[in-house]
Structures are given as C-alpha cells and as structure tokens.
Structure 1
Amino acid sequence: MDLSFEIKVVRGTDASPETVRFTDLLTGPTVVSVYMRNNTGSCDKQNDALVADWAEINAAGFNVVGVSRDTGGSHIRYAAKKGIGYPLVSDPEDLFATAADAVIDKKMYGRVFRGPLRSAWVLDASGKILAIIEKVDAKTHGAQVLAAVSAL
C-alpha cells in the first residue's frame, strides 16, 4: 500500500492544519480509523468510543489517526468539541481509502455514491497492514481496536 501521498493533518485541539506525507504519521504502530464526516451521528459515536479508549490503545503501544473527508478547519473545531488529542487527517479525495482499496458504493436517501469504507487499519511504522477492522461498530469502536491490537 503506497501511503506517500500528501495530506493535511490537525494534531490535537490547539493545532493548525499542516501538510505532511501520510507516511510521516506512522511513527510507530498506528491505528487508522476511517469515517465519513465530523458532526454526524455514527461518526461522532465512533470517535467518542475511540477517545474513551485512546489512553489504553496508546498504553498498548499504538498511535491513533482519524481520517475523514472534512477540512482542516473543521477538524480543529471538531477536535476541540470532542476532546480529540490524536491527529485528524483531512482526506477529501479519499486517498487513504484508495490506497487501501477500500472505496465502496454507499447508499443514502436512495442515492448511490462512492465513499470510503468505515473501517480501521492497524499498520506498522512502514505501512504494512497488521490487522483490519472492516465492520466498525460505532458505539464500541475503541473496544474493537483494543481487541485487534491485543490479538497481535
């Protein structure tokens, strides 16, 4: 999986967006949690569950990165609102999902469109896939991640 593309990232609640290569975010084993949009029901639940278990995930030796189509400005406000300390990536072109071959057909209000699979990817520092959570349960996402990293 080629993760050398450039993205914008917000690192914590008081940070400004910066442009980096995605690979620069892989400073160690990393969980990449993919969701569609900030401030939407299921995506909020997914991030709330991840925030609740973030310290335990870190204690297990894993970084966390959230990826959505939102802008860097939206991520700044969202991180502050939700208390998100892990980096949030702005990926409006679905570059991560494309690299992971995880762009799928979705349906909303009878309309079909392409978008990233709500998923989590456990990667080592080189970008090698260690585990994939293809069916994220928004309410228990943190526990799902902990189970995945504990199984490694």
Structure 2
Amino acid sequence: MVKQGTQIDTDFALDIVKDGTEQTVTFSELLDRPTIVSVYMRNNTSGCDKQNKSLADQADWFDEREYNLVAVSKDSCGSHKNYAEKLDINYILASDPEYKFAEATDSIVDKQMFGNEYQAPSRSAYVIGTDGTVQAIIEKVNTNDHAEELKEVIKNL
C-alpha cells in the first residue's frame, strides 16, 4: 500500500456519476480541492451500504471544509446512478472495474470468498491533495462509522 506523503499517478481515466450525470474524467480532474477517496467493493451489499450511507449522511460536513468525496467500486455507472438515488448520495461515485485507482495506490490485496482466492482493492480510504500527494490513509475502513473516522483524520491534518 502507498505510504502517506507519496505522490501517486493521477493520469488515468475513470467513468463517474456526478449529480446524476455520467462522464469520463482523468483522476487529476477530481483533485480541484483536497479529495477523500473511499474504496468499497460493490453496490447494494450490507457493509458497502453502511459505508456509503455514513458518508452520504455527513457529506455536507466534508463539503463545508472544502473536501471532495469520491467513492470507488467496480460497479458500472448505470448501477451507480440507481445506488446514488437509493442512498441519497450527492457525492461522486466512480466506476473502476480495471482497478486503476487501486494500482495507483498499490492497494490490490489477496482475498478469499467461498473458498475462492482472488485479488481486489482493499476496503480503504485516502485523503489526497490537489497535487496527488496522499495526506492520510485509513487502511481498514469501519463500515458502520466511516464518516466519523474520516472526520477525525481531517481534524488531525
């Protein structure tokens, strides 16, 4: 996993849903102010719903402090549109089926489900500055209290 203080590669494209609209952007375009990137596995699953609902409930707090919120999963933008409506999400949802963000942060890990081993991004969160420098990392997200743990990180920066 990338270390705090490291400048990551931000020159990769992501499909995103922002304000109900699909678009393709380079990751660097999302860094118009410090940005929190929360990585989750899949829409409409218990832990991921809790993680995103926590962020959705506190999104204004982060916006007032001039932080962007971006949640990244492998889901399609079509799925993200429905998910944003379901959970009342007003921040950016990014589709990353090729794990480009995970590659940039060196956060692809070995996982196991139903006896099958595979590699996928870790459920983690990053605070990234406008120049692509990682300012803080939460290596293992608390799905129930994700917004609160991020607020503590922001307060301590």
Q: Deviations over 1:79-98 (max 9, x none)?
A: 11111110100000110001
Q: 1:44 aligns with which of 44, 49, 54?
A: 49
Q: Deviations over 1:52-110 (max 9, x none)?
A: 11111222221100100000111111111111110100000110001100000011111
CA apart distance, 1:135: 1.0
- Contact 1:8 1:90 (C-alpha < 8 Å) held by counterparts: yes
Q: Aligned partner of 1:20: which letter?
A: V
Q: 1:9 aligns with which of 5, 16, 23?
A: 16
Q: 5+ unaligned residues in a row in structure 2: which ranges?
A: 1-7
Q: Deviations over 1:16-72 (max 9, x none)?
A: x11110111111011000001000110000001111111112222211001000001
TM-score (ref. length: structure 2):
0.93
Give the alignment of 1:1-152 within 5 angstroms.
Answer: 1-12=8-19, 14-15=20-21, 17-152=22-157
Q: 5+ unaligned residues in a row in structure 1: which ranges?
A: none
How many angstroms apart in 1 are the aligned matches of 2:32 and 2:80?
21
Runs of 4+ that moved beyond 6 A: none
CA apart distance, 1:142: 0.4
What CA RMSD, in Å, does the superposition of the two structures yield over aligned residues?
0.8
Percent identical across equivalent pairs?
43
Counting matched residue pairs gives: 150
* Partner SS for 1:24: helix
